[in-house]
Structures are given as structure tokens and as C-alpha cells.
């Protein structure tokens, strides 16, 4: 299926995966609506894409604010009269010892990663139903398939997105709307993983692997064109470990936790709010 002239909303388009995705969709000649809080970065990207001939609309949007989401849909319809693809990509990370996570951080993570995506989809679906067509892409994570230690709030939002996607499919596939959960592993050139590597000086283990923004963009294009339920984007493949966890929960848990614990504990300790834990001599300290 050609993406030429399709109207695509991308949240979190100002950086990382969303920014690369916008560039990739511009190559496919889609018409783009770029949404995020950093309007200056969106304008820069818009200028770059417009120079290449792409039709771009920038809408400064905080996805945790329902009024902003209303305005995003309204302005998109005003400009393009339709919405073919919604990519719920905006997200924030939250990797730290759970007992140290601030209350406002819990709420911000859930409102950005999950509530924002659900509310925006609720606003977009009526337009897709009117067209009898549409594709909804939810940027989840492998953390939503097996929630890692030190990432319980983040993983909960991503598992929520996967469940949300399944519900949408059951309801709308026979009315022309597809929904796909994209589950990238740690992604090079995307902000979250790069920030952890920069802060910790550590990379993920070979067993955990990871991916790149290019591979994630390829998966999103495939999802728009073919509408699968879920695409896990990671090398090495992790679906066998997920299946093992379903059949033998304790064994699967041991394996999936073992490959991520060391790396993410370091990430948790490097986060600003972890000073208390590290300075009081946590007996569970890593030796890295
Ligand atoms: N990188 C990875 O390793 C990885 C792995 C798996 C899944 N993912 C998922 O992929 C998505 C993108 O991640 P990334 O690595 O590209 O992160 P990133 O570079 O930090 O970019 C996050 C994007 O989300 C936007 N955003 C954050 N809070 C927002 C809010 N309240 N309203 C609107 N936009 C908001 C940011 O823009 P503003 O700050 O300008 O608002 C930015 O454009 C996230 O959902 C993440 O969970 C990432």
C-alpha cells in the first residue's frame, strides 16, 4: 500500500524514534502532523521536511493534557479533512527503585505513555470510522511484554498499551481500522536508551540485545501497510523467552530478569532521585 498523501499524526515527533519516523514517512510522501511539547524542535524538523516537499503541520501538544489533544485533532481535520494513521509514540522513561519513584513521576509516566494515547485514539477513531479506514500504531516496548526490574511503572504503561491495542482490534478490524503494538527493545538513536548508556557508561548485554530507530521505522511502515496485532523489534528475537515465561512462569522470569537486571539497576542508581539509596549503602548494590 502506498503511503503517498496519507495523513499521519505522530506524537513525540521532536526527538528520537518519532523524529526518525517522521523523516522516513516523509520519504514515503505522507502528509505529516508533528506533535510534541518542544515547538522549536518541531518547527526545525518541519522546515527540513518542507524543503524536501513534504506537507507538514506542527501542533505543540502535551499529550497529558486532553485540551491539547482536542486541539491537535481539530487542527488536523481543519487542515487535511482526514486522519489515516495515528502513531502514539510520545513517551517518558521511568527507571529507578520503585520505593523512590515520586508520586508526580508515577502520574506523569501513566498520563504521557498510556492515558494520552487512549484519549487521543478516542478522539481520532470517529474520523477513521467515518472514512471506514485507518491505522493506529501504539509505541509499546519489550518492557510491556515482560516488565523489567526497576521499570515497573514504565512497563505497566507499555503492557497497558498492548492490552489497549488488542481491545481496539477486536472492536474495529471489521470496520476497516487496524491497530498494532510496536514493541522495540532498547533502541539506538532513540533518546531513552542512549540517555541510559550516556549516564551509566554501560550497554545492554548481548542476550538482551536491542534495535535501532531505522528498524523501528521499518516495523511501523509494515504495521501501517499490513496491520498485524504486534511487532517485536529486537535482535536477538525474544518471543521464545516470552513463550517460555507463559508456560513456565518462574523459569521464564529468572531468565528475562537475569539479562536485564544489572543494566537497569545501574540506570536506576544513576537517576537523580536515587541519591538516598546509593549513599545509605544498599546491601543489594551492584559490583559494576
Ligand atoms: N529508545 C528506546 O530504547 C525505546 C525502546 C522501546 C520503546 N520506546 C518508546 O518509544 C517512544 C519514543 O522513545 P524515544 O527513545 O524516541 O524517546 P525520546 O527521544 O526521549 O523522545 C520522546 C518523545 O516524546 C515526546 N514527549 C514526552 N513527553 C511528552 C508529552 N507530555 N507530550 C507530548 N510529547 C511528549 C518528546 O517530546 P517533547 O519533550 O518535546 O514533548 C519526544 O519527542 C516512547 O514511547 C518510548 O517509550 C523507546
According to the 3-state scheme, what is the secondary structure of the chain? CCCCCCEEEEECCCCHHHHHHHHHHHHCCCEEEEEECCHHHHHHHHHHHHHCCCCEEEEECCCCCHHHHHHHHHHHHHHHCCCCEEEECCCCCCCCCHHHCCHHHHHHHHHHHHHHHHHHHHHHHHHHHHHCCEEEEEECCHHHCCCCCCCHHHHHHHHHHHHHHHHHHHHHHHHCEEEEEEEECCEECCHHHHHHHHHHCCCCCCCCCEEEHHHHHHHHHHHHHHCCCEEEECECCCHHHHHHHHHCHHHHHHHHHHHHHHHHHHHHHHCHHHHHHHHCCCCCCCCC
The segments of the chain whose pLDDT lies below 70 read 272-288
User: What local confidence, expressed as pLDDT, does residue 118 receive?
Assistant: 99
Q: Of the listed 80, 95, 150, 154, which one is catalytic?
A: 154
Can you give the pLDDT at residue 278? Answer: 37
Which atom of ligand 1 lies nearest, measured to the CA of 18?
Answer: 16
**Residue in 118, 192, 195, 208 to alter for ligand 1 test, most ligand atoms within 8 A of Cβ:** 192
Question: Can the peptide bond before residue 136 be classed as cis, meaning omega within 30 degrees of 0?
Answer: no
Residue from 245, 259, 18, 254 nearest 145 by CA: 245
Identify the pLDDT of residue 286. 27
Taking the CA of residue 41 as reference, the ligand 1 atom at the shortest distance is 40
Q: Provide the pLDDT for residue 5.
A: 98
Q: Which of 160, 167, 164, 180 is nearest to 232 (CA)?
A: 180
Mutational test site, ligand 1, from 35, 90, 263, max ligand atoms within 8 Å of CB: 90
Please tell me the residue having the least CA distance from ligand 1 atom 32.
62
193 is catalytic: no
What CATH class has 7-277?
alpha beta
The CA distance from 23 to 140, in Å, is 20
Question: What is residue 277's predicted lDDT score, i.e. its pLDDT?
Answer: 38
Taking CB atoms and a 6 Å cutoff, what residues make up the pocket around ligand 1? 11-18, 36-38, 61-64, 89-92, 112, 139, 141, 184, 186-187, 190-193
At 108 the pLDDT is: 98
Amino acid at each position: 500500500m502506498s503511503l503517498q498523501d496519507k495523513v499521519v499524526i505522530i506524537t513525540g515527533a521532536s526527538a528520537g524514534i518519532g523524529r526518525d519516523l517522521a523523516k522516513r514517512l516523509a520519504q514515503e510522501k505522507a502528509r505529516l502532523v508533528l506533535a510534541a511539547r518542544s515547538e522549536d524542535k518541531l518547527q526545525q524538523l518541519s522546515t527540513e521536511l518542507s524543503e524536501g516537499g513534504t506537507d507538514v503541520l506542527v501542533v505543540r501538544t502535551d499529550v497529558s493534557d486532553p485540551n491539547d489533544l482536542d486541539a491537535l485533532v481539530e487542527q488536523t481535520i481543519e487542515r487535511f479533512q482526514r486522519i489515516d494513521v495515528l502513531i502514539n509514540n510520545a513517551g517518558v522513561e521511568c527507571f529507578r527503585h520503585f520505593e523512590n519513584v515520586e508520586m508526580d513521576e508515577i502520574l506523569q509516566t501513566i498520563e504521557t505513555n498510556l492515558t494520552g494515547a487512549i484519549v487521543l485514539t478516542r478522539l481520532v477513531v470517529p474520523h477513521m470510522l467515518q472514512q471506514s479506514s485507518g491505522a493506529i500504531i501504539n509505541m509499546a516496548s519489550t518492557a510491556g511484554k515482560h516488565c523489567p526490574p526497576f521499570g515497573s511503572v514504565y512497563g505497566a504503561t507499555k503492557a497497558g498499551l498492548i492490552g489497549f491495542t488488542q481491545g481496539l482490534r477486536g472492536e474495529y478490524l471489521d470496520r476497516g481500522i487496524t491497530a498494532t503494538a510496536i514493541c522495540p527493545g532498547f533502541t539506538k538513536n532513540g533518546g531513552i536508551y542512549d540517555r541510559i548508556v550516556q549516564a551509566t557508561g554501560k550497554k545492554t548485554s548481548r542476550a538482551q540485545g536491542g534495535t535501532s530507530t531505522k528498524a523501528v521505522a521499518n516495523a511501523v511502515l509494515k504495521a501501517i501497510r499490513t496491520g498485524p496485532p504486534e511487532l517485536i523489534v529486537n535482535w536477538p528475537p525474544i518471543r521464545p523467552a516470552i513463550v517460555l515465561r507463559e508456560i513456565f512462569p518462574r523459569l521464564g522470569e529468572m531468565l528475562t530478569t537475569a539479562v536485564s537486571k544489572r543494566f537497569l539497576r545501574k540506570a536506576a542508581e544513576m537517576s537523580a532521585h536515587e541519591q538516598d539509596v546509593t549513599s545509605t549503602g544498599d546491601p543489594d548494590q551492584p559490583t559494576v
